Structure 1
């Protein structure tokens, strides 16, 4: 072909194709989910003898758990936040202002940041309510812990959090733009939007919780544990389950939205806290249970958020599916999850009202909460009650996650068209 014919085919400017590929959808969703789950999950202090590798594996396990059950992690973060609020209030009642004890201090203590060392007894963690008791009764002097001291122990990855915020904003704008222009979303993108909703709540509730702290502060007291228990009187007569200061906190709030879940998991998988050691050396990451419980407003918000999270997945019926069977399986899986959530909420309400009667009728024992009722049940009965619900819950959730990825194998052409951003802005 001659030079003239070749020059006739030359173009001065060629725009990039207005398309995206399957790898672009996959990468965008995975990057958003990874950054959100890595930056928002704040764990308690690990056991004193844990290695950095064990700490990393613990973080990865909790990251995977958060990706699989983000609504549970949100409830966990919310109740830890409320526990910190009640700790701050307790110290304010004792006359200490935010200079001595604020929300950052409360989170640090509640996550196992302070160990109590008494004569001839192993050191064990104390929470903010127990610290207040020890200070109020003269067993300890008020520790002078500056915010900078906690910040030095915290390894907050502000860069990761900033990167996650940018990714969330960009991903959300993309999804809104696609919805406005009628381009549609894949089920994976819809699931990612639902996960973003949960991660934003985690970021709010854990905003002041120190990140990745590994070394606690040890406070020494000259008083023996025996003398503390004797002076406490009848309240300290019961055998302790975690530490000798268990008597300072009331029984778990049976209206908690997340504590029954962990009791059910422990009933099925039998995982004792801190390997069964007593006293424990660290607080488990599933520790919540605010001493005064949660308020009605907090409970209503928690229920609303749970149903909103599952409701967003129901919108997947409008997303494209490779087959009609997969569409109906998606609806069935999310209907199952919503039904299980409804049963769970009803069980908490009924258990709160009738647990005392059940305890006397079934076991001839007085119980103060539904959690105490569950504890006195024989192991086979606890397993028989919880295992079917947990198995069904995991199976339905697993299907939604698998289908979100598997459905990418066959999408309509409009799903690959990019958003025309110029349509959203006036131009000359």
Structure 2
């Protein structure tokens, strides 16, 4: 998340700048006059002025670059950095458990409505099917991100000089930017290996951390999660397999896109194993891995087709699609 950021201290401290202004004959200036009973308090009187704000920014220092996990772990091991307490992290978060709970309840209510329509033999519109797939992703993300701080505005400032780069960081700098490998990495959510944080000013939007080596636990977990989630998301669209479409061509496109989205993730695993075996047996380079480049665009094409069809079919919905669920039929009554 970029929660730890390296800062470079300013030339002089805020106290030194205030004393310099006072020596120049501006002791009573509202920007620099101390507010405490004791002069050593070092607190500024509240005054909405740009100069006071600039002084505080200069005291904080100049941001250099975000810290990666290698630098953070080494600073913790040497005692130069301590994790902020949970109360401080909670104070930085712009969300709470109640807001997350309400979102999940609203999402589960939509899922319950979709299930009830199927039980009542009422058709689901294509837009509802697509939305259902995204709601499943939403519930999963809220579960795994329940304790993650939301919209943290200010990172933990770290001052000082960092040690030399580790082997992992040197490997990141020398890593080749092969476009075919980048496509596969971005599709599997492991694209963080292409970014060296010491060379950027902020964390990239889709940064996922660093992974070193060909295969490890993190890379395997990321790939398996992508495959399982991608397959389940595509399988949800089978709910619209027999839905009424304005034309047979639209129905064919929907079924084609559904099969593609469901089959591409496991097909990527099978193709990876086959190409890896061929490369090992015949002692070839990574030329066979280029075949994997076609799978992510094919999956994205299937996603695009379903979204377009979901919007187009709204112009000609069947009458049954406007009927509400009779919830009283699901409960015993006289």
SS in 2 for 1:414: helix
Residue 331 (str. 1) matches residue 270 (str. 2): no
Which residue does 1:308 correspond to in 2?
A: 232
Q: Distance in 1 between matches of 2:186 and 2:307?
A: 22
Residue 282 (str. 1) matches residue 202 (str. 2): yes
Residue 130 (str. 1) matches residue 71 (str. 2): yes
Classify 1:397/1:209 alpha carbon distance in 2 versus 1 (closer, same or farther; 3 Å). Answer: same
Per-residue deviation, residues 292-328 of structure 1 (Å, max 9, x unmatched): 5238788656533322221111231122211222111
Classify 1:208/1:353 alpha carbon distance in 2 versus 1 (closer, same or farther; 3 Å). Answer: farther
Calculate the aligned-residue CA RMSD, in Å.
Answer: 4.2
Per-residue deviation, residues 221-269 of structure 1 (Å, max 9, x unmatched): 3x554xx34xx6xx37947539xxxxxxxx9xxxxxx9834179999xx
Asked whether the equivalents of residues 114 and 124 of structure 2 are also in contact (C-alpha less than 8 Å), the reply is yes
Classify 1:279/1:298 alpha carbon distance in 2 versus 1 (closer, same or farther; 3 Å). Answer: closer
Quick check: which has more Rg, 1 or 2?
A: 2
Bigger mean CA offset, 180-189 vs 292-301: 292-301
Which residue does 2:107 correspond to in 1?
A: 168
The number of aligned residues is: 272
Q: Distance in 2 between matches of 1:296 and 1:391?
A: 22
**Equivalent of 1:200 in 139, 152, 156:** 139
Q: Distance in 2 between matches of 1:279 and 1:307?
A: 36
Which residue does 1:77 correspond to in 2?
A: none
**Equivalent of 1:153 in 79, 92, 96:** 92
Classify 1:347/1:112 alpha carbon distance in 2 versus 1 (closer, same or farther; 3 Å). Answer: farther
Structure 2: which 5+ residue stretches go unaligned? Answer: 11-61, 176-181
Q: Distance in 1 between matches of 2:3 and 2:185?
A: 25
Which residue does 2:186 correspond to in 1?
A: 262
What pairs with 1:3-22 in structure 2 (closer than 5 Å)? Answer: none
Q: Distance in 2 between matches of 1:170 and 1:263?
A: 31
Bigger mean CA offset, 290-299 vs 307-316: 290-299
Asked whether the equivalents of residues 122 and 279 of structure 1 are also in contact (C-alpha less than 8 Å), the reply is no
Asked whether the equivalents of residues 190 and 209 of structure 2 are also in contact (C-alpha less than 8 Å), the reply is no
Q: TM-score, normalised by structure 2?
A: 0.66
Q: Distance in 1 between matches of 2:238 and 2:244?
A: 13
Residue 402 (str. 1) matches residue 308 (str. 2): yes
Which residue does 1:114 correspond to in 2?
A: 4
Residue 321 (str. 1) matches residue 262 (str. 2): no
**Equivalent of 2:122 in 183, 195, 210:** 183
Q: Which contiguous aligned blocks of 4+ residues in structure 1 show a shift greater than 6 angstroms?
A: 118-122, 263-267, 295-298, 354-358
Asked whether the equivalents of residues 113 and 217 of structure 1 are also in contact (C-alpha less than 8 Å), the reply is yes
Bigger mean CA offset, 179-188 vs 278-287: 278-287
Classify 1:265/1:204 alpha carbon distance in 2 versus 1 (closer, same or farther; 3 Å). Answer: closer
- Measure how far apart 1:114 and its partner are: 0.5
Q: TM-score, normalised by structure 1?
A: 0.53
Asked whether the equivalents of residues 120 and 325 of structure 2 are also in contact (C-alpha less than 8 Å), the reply is yes
**Equivalent of 2:270 in 322, 332, 346:** 346
Q: Distance in 2 between matches of 1:313 and 1:211?
A: 31
Q: Distance in 2 between matches of 1:356 and 1:130?
A: 36
Q: Distance in 1 between matches of 2:97 and 2:246?
A: 40
Asked whether the equivalents of residues 259 and 288 of structure 1 are also in contact (C-alpha less than 8 Å), the reply is no
Q: Distance in 2 between matches of 1:191 and 1:166?
A: 19
SS in 1 for 2:241: helix
Which residue does 1:241 correspond to in 2?
A: 173
Q: Which has the higher contact order (CA 8 A, sep 6+)?
A: 1
- Measure how far apart 1:199 and its partner are: 1.2
Which residue does 2:59 correspond to in 1?
A: none
